Structure 1
Amino acid sequence: MPAQQKKVLFCVAGVLSFACALSIAAAIGTQLWLRGRILCKTGALLVNATGQELEKFIGEIQYGLFYGERVRQCGLGGRPFRFSFFPDLFKVIPASIHVSVILFSLALLVFALIETGFFMYNAFGKPYETLHGPLGLYLWSFISFSCGCLIMILFSSEVKIHHLSEKIANYKEGSFIFKTHSEQFANSFWIILVCSLVHILNILLIRLAGFEFPFSKSKDSETANGAVDLMY
């Protein structure tokens, strides 16, 4: 492939990586990771609520990685209040998983920025046949994709397996018990998914530019001369 087309492909990949970095930064700071509805089970059982009456006992909840908002419904109207994970809910939630989600989200942001720099350096600079060249592009793209997958797996397990919404809803509740009525992942979670897919797209763009996947060369092919051999 001509060098000019390679530069165009690397520029496109760099712009996509930078867009991912901005989106990840926005996702980390919002409370739109999950939306759900919480049933006041105790209140509904007391009046034997069914059908439309049950709606009076179903509140709403939404939260992100650091804070959220909840509307408590127990038959007497909604009472909204905001909460934060640190330090309020730190002893209630699965803290190790939640902190891991935050750390991997920050790592994904950093790796996306590094990936952007490498793509732009390969487009306009004179990279070497080591981590500055196509091997580095493959490496950072794969690491970014892996971080995105870990974030989604950990957050999903925190919500579904450890019942995060119920733990938040029952925090400091004395006589009332709340159960999850429904919940779905919100915008920020899907942003992480889209960014992970973008990193896979970047890997395909590198291959389209004419560079073989790592470890795909035959054993008898000549090895690169290291940092002294120019890629272009």
Structure 2
Amino acid sequence: MPSTKKTLYFMSSALMTAIAIGILGFAMSTQWAKTTMKCTQGNGNFSGTAVITLRLFQGNLVRQSCPIFGGIDNFQVFPELMNTEGITSVALHILTVCLLVLCLLFSAATILTSLYNSVSNPYETYMGPVGIYAYSSLSTCLSVLVLIFFAVNINATSMAEDLTKTITKNVDLKDRSTEMLTGFYLVIPYAVLSLLAIVLIYVYDHAAYTHRKEQQKPTEDAPKEIMMY
């Protein structure tokens, strides 16, 4: 059976990761970005506005005098993206969602490994601290990639314009301004908590290693009287 100290460290790591999963799960269900654009129907006078708010799977388009009258349109992100010509936007959005799913899977693996170590003493394999280092590191790295890919998709591609033009026909758009929302920023505490899970196990593992080294002093340090026998 593992010591109480080991159990506390690994249970704390599992708790940190569980909180991280809860945060990421909420992030995936809430709003990620809002883009505001000036809008017209082709007469050259940009008097209306279109505000598109995106979640990962659903979106909302609010139009004011765009093109002539206003309106509110709710839509599914993936079907509408498939109707656009923005191949890059589609690929980046699919990649973002896939990476988030992988983050959840690796975090779940971290929890299972932590719980297993809290009740047993496995060897130094993927079922021990090494596994937690690997799973949590992958979760952290992938979540950082999520932030990069989503920010690039929103700011460097015409994703918002393409979606707006697909939903509202025959409009011209300009002066885009984008604001990142709660879902995007919640990925950051998820990454931090995944790192903390690693730190907890490293602190325990380092202390355990130091203790083992102290228990295995080299024979050169033994008294000469003992060496004679």
Q: Which residue of 2 aligns with 1:108?
A: 103
The TM-score with structure 1 as length reference comes to 0.77
The alpha-carbon deviation at position 175 of structure 1 amounts to 3.3
CA shift digits 1:183-230 (9 cap, x unpaired): 111111111121111111122112221339xxxxxxxxxxxxxxxxxx
- The answer to whether the 8 A contact 1:41-1:177 is kept is yes
- Contact map agreement 1:42 1:178 (CA 8 A) in 2: no
Q: How many residues align?
A: 202
- Pair member with larger Rg: 2
For the 8 Å contact 2:154–2:178, the answer to whether it is kept is no
- Which protein is richer in helix relative to its size? 2
Question: 1-side partners of 2:58 and 2:175: how far apart?
Answer: 19
Does the C-alpha gap of structure 1 residues 178 and 12 become closer, same or farther in structure 2, counting only changes over 3 Å? Answer: same
Give the match for residue 175 of structure 1: 170
Asked if residue 78 in structure 1 is aligned to residue 73 in structure 2, the reply is: no
The C-alpha deviation readout for 1:83-140, integer Å capped at 9, x for no partner, is 1123232142422211111111111111111111111111222222111111111111
SS of the residue corresponding to residue 129 of structure 1 reads coil
State the AA in 2 paired with 1:129: E
Shift of 1:27: 2.4
> What amino acid maps onto 1:123 in structure 2?
S
Q: Distance in 2 between matches of 1:13 and 1:203?
A: 7
Per the TM alignment, residue 45 of structure 1 is displaced from its structure 2 partner at its CA by 4.4
Q: Does 1:61 align with 2:52?
A: yes
Q: Secondary structure at the match of 1:175?
A: coil
Residue identity opposite 2:11 in structure 1: C
- Structure 1 gaps of 5+ residues are 50-56, 213-232
- SS at structure 2 position matched to 1:127: coil
Structure 1 position 204 matched with structure 2 position 196: no
Output the aligned Cα RMSD. Answer: 2.4
8 Å contact 2:29–2:183 — kept in the other structure? no
Q: Indicate which of 77, 95, 114 corresponds to 2:90.
A: 95
Q: Percent identity?
A: 23
Could you tell me how far 1:77 is from its partner in structure 2?
A: 5.8
Which residue of the partner structure matches residue 216 of structure 1?
none
2:153 to 158, 163, 168: 158
Q: Contact 2:80/2:166 (CA < 8 Å) preserved in 1?
A: no
Q: Structure 1 residues 83 and 202, CA, compared in 2 at 3 Å: closer, same or farther?
A: same
